Amino acid sequence: MNLLATFLQRAILQGVPILYGASGEILTEKSGNLNLGIPGIMYMGGVSGLIAAFFYERAAGERASGLVGLFLSLGAALLISMLAGLLYSFLTVTLRANQNVVGLSLTTFGVGFGNFFGGSLSQLAGGVGQISTKLTAAAYRQSLPGLSKFPFVGKAFFSFGFLTYFSIILALCLAFVLTGTRKGLEIRAVGEDPAAADAAGVDVNRVKYVSTVLGAALAGLGGLCFVMEYLGGTWANDGFGDRGWLAVALVILSVWNARKAIWGSFLFGGLYILYLYIPGLNRSAQELFKMLPYLATILVLIQTGRRNRAEDQPPASLGLSYFREER
């Protein structure tokens, strides 16, 4: 029973950064933008928050407060992530650059950005694993008082920091906004038929900018969650692995539905670490097990293709550019 509780806990902890990235990409893709820069933005958000927390704790010394470090790191992660989303929007919406090329370039840049500044921070701190942001990380890891003490249920579901529960709340709110509000209708209209949305008086470029920038902010929170809650406020180059791409795959698995992305992220988290609980696996077999989330995505693609339901399909203008004619 204790082993099952540990597995569920780690599966959820693995899935939460993926859920943030997928939620951000769902919002972005609903507006018709395909941002393949999500993995890079997660790196940028994570390392930016870590840098802010590190220099704050180093400067404040014994007077450092975990709560202040939390707000500083949160602000830094959101700022850098939103700037990355703004850059993507400027290049693809205003300058009409190819979305796939820009997104992949942003991922390459973001991974390099994270590894360069994260590695430099490690050297400044005295070596790999020597980065000290324990007060800030402890603030992120603070679990729900009382509930985490319950046997099994407490460890499996109530032993996480606030970012874990916030990811679920955000996904539910996103699903409601997209399906139950006028703003959500505008976003979906822009993603389905930007010309018709423009004719109805919707500012297409503004919707694309706002959706993409907010989507990037959510992805940056995923990177920050991974660094602070999973890694405990330290850094390892290329430590994110393929979690950023799993976030993109989760968008497909959840058929662009933020509610479905919640359970999908936990499924991905469980599949991603399943090999750790199967004894006797060699290195090759472990790598095969890490492919399971992508296999699940392929199966969902096949199933949704057979059903051919409109609600299971991507926005009609996804990845295509729309530019308002001069009047």
Sign of the alpha-carbon torsion through 249, 111, 272, 268 = negative
What does the pLDDT read at residue 242? 86
Backbone angles phi, psi at 218, to 5 degrees: -65, -40
Q: How much is the pLDDT for 319?
A: 76
pLDDT tens for each residue of 34-66 = 999 999 999 999 999 999 999 999 999 889 999
For residues 196 and 32, the answer to whether their CB atoms sit within 8 Å is no
- pLDDT value, residue 316: 78
Quote the pLDDT of residue 276: 85
In whole angstroms, give the CA distance from residue 190 to residue 197. 6
Strands (E), the chain: none
Q: What is the pLDDT of residue 62?
A: 86
Q: Is the Cβ–Cβ distance between 327 and 198 less than 8 Å?
A: no
How many percent of the chain have pLDDT more than 70? 94
Identify whether the C-beta of residue 247 lies closer than 8 Å to the C-beta of residue 18: yes
Q: For 103-107, 111-115, 145-149, 251-255, which range has the lowest pLDDT when averaged over its residues?
A: 145-149
Q: Chain-centre distance of CA 144, in angstroms?
A: 23
What are 127's two structure tokens? Answer: 């070596």
For the four alpha carbons of 211, 214, 220 and 221, in that order, the dihedral sign comes to negative
Whole-prediction pTM value? 0.93
Return the number of other C-beta atoms located less than 10 Å from residue 130's C-beta. Answer: 13
Q: Specify the pLDDT at position 314.
A: 79
Positive or negative, the CA dihedral 104, 31, 17, 68 is positive
Report whether pLDDT(299) > 90. Answer: no
pLDDT bracket for residue 327 (50, 70, 90) = very low
- The residue with greater pLDDT, 69 or 158, is 69
3-state percent breakdown (helix, strand, coil) of the chain, nearest 5: 75, 0, 25
Q: Tens digit of pLDDT for each residue in 228-259?
A: 999 889 998 888 888 999 999 999 989 899 99
Residue 142 near residue 161, CB atoms below 8 Å = yes
**Mean pLDDT across the stretch 15-42?**
96
Mean pLDDT value across residues 182-198: 94
- Give me the torsion for CA of 294, 296, 301, 305, rounded to 10°: 160
User: For the chain, what is the mean pLDDT?
Assistant: 89
CA distances from residue 262 to 17, 22, 68, 242 in whole angstroms, order as listed: 11, 9, 29, 18
